[in-house]
Amino acid sequence: MALTLVIEDIHKAYGNLEVLKGISFGMQKGDTKVVIGPSGTGKSTLLRCINRLSPPDKGQVWLEGEEITHSKSNINQLRAKIGFVFQDFNLFSHLTALKNVSIAPMKVMRMKKKEAAKLAMEELERVGLGDKADAYPAQLSGGQQQRVSIARALAMSPKLILFDEPTSALDPELIGEVLEVMINLAKDGMTMLVVSHEMGFARSVADEVIFMEQGVIVEQGPPQQLFASPKQPRTREFLHKITELYGEEREKGN
């Protein structure tokens, strides 16, 4: 089966600090993969390397057979096929929620205004925010903003959505509404690569969990296997710390 996303031997350094030291994996259509690991191990950098927001120093990335990392690739076109959800939402502050979602279809996919507005409304309703279409980002809560940003990504009918710690900047009581949207997306068959600390989410919908540390993939596998019986000692250490931090109840609750 043709793979949606292929990442091969990605290296990235910032000055003298090597952040990614050879990352490779693939994703099939409909896969949901969650990347976990200590902070600063390059997880966010990896996501940004995939759509070349931070071009990798070495290595290649293919999206449905097209090489993103190629110098002659039409990067804008390729980026349009990859959704990106940021930790800080990054909604366009001067536009309403509706406009935020419809602007890319209009400007990038050259959709007509009416069509785009209709599409935007559909996506907003999909994330449960149809009634907030005319609100500005500053008038929305963090959880609402993040859901709008997911709708914004969905409006482009992406082949893959990258989530960069989507709930890390949210107040605890707002995390649930965002995770709910993400779970539904995964169940609907969206191909998702999620960097997150939310183990409950990983447990419920991830096809694979990837544990990264110090710029390399230490271990990867289906969540039940990785969480229950991790093979690597470092994986075990990390999971221990996480469980202590978040507590058993949260895992069970999700």
Q: Point out which residues bind other proteins (CB under 8 A).
A: 51, 53, 76-82, 84, 86, 88, 90-94, 103-104, 107-108, 136-139, 149, 152-153, 156
- CB of 68: closest distance to other proteins in angstroms? 12
Q: Where are the alpha helices (DSSP H) in 75-163?
A: 75-80, 97-107, 113-126, 142-154
d(C-alpha 140, C-alpha 22), whole Å: 40
CB atoms within 10 A of CB 110: 8
Q: Which residues contact 77 (CB under 8 A, 6 or more apart)?
A: none
State in angstroms the smallest separation of the CB of 69 from other proteins. Answer: 16
φ/ψ of residue 163, rounded to 5: -115, 115
Residue found under tokens 């536009």? 95
Minimal distance in Å, beta carbon 42 to other proteins?
Answer: 18
Cβ distance to other proteins smaller for residue 90 or 214: 90
Give the residue with the Cβ less far from other proteins, 104 or 205: 104
Instruction: State how far the alpha carbon of 188 is from the alpha carbons of 31, 180, 185, 208, in Å.
Output: 11, 12, 5, 17
At 233, list the tokens.
């000692």
CB 90 to other proteins: min, Å: 4
Q: What distance, in Å, lies between the first and last C-alpha atoms of the chain? A: 32
Q: Which is nearer to other proteins, 136 or 246 (CB)?
A: 136
Residue number with CB closer to other proteins (162 or 226):
162
Nearer to other proteins, 41 or 149 (CB): 149
Please report, to the nearest 10 degrees, the dihedral formed by the alpha carbons of residues 127, 131, 133, 138 taken in order: -90
CA angle 58, 64, 69 (to 5 degrees): 20
CB of 208 to other proteins, least distance (A): 24
Closest contact distance (angstroms) between CB of 152 and other proteins is 7
Identity of the residue, 77 or 232, whose beta carbon is nearer to other proteins in the bound complex: 77
The least distance separating other proteins from the CB of residue 232, rounded to whole angstroms, comes to: 33
Nearer to other proteins, 151 or 226 (CB): 151
Residues counted in the chain: 254
Classify residue 64 as exposed, middle or buried by CB count within 10 Å of its CB (0-12, 13-18, 19+).
middle
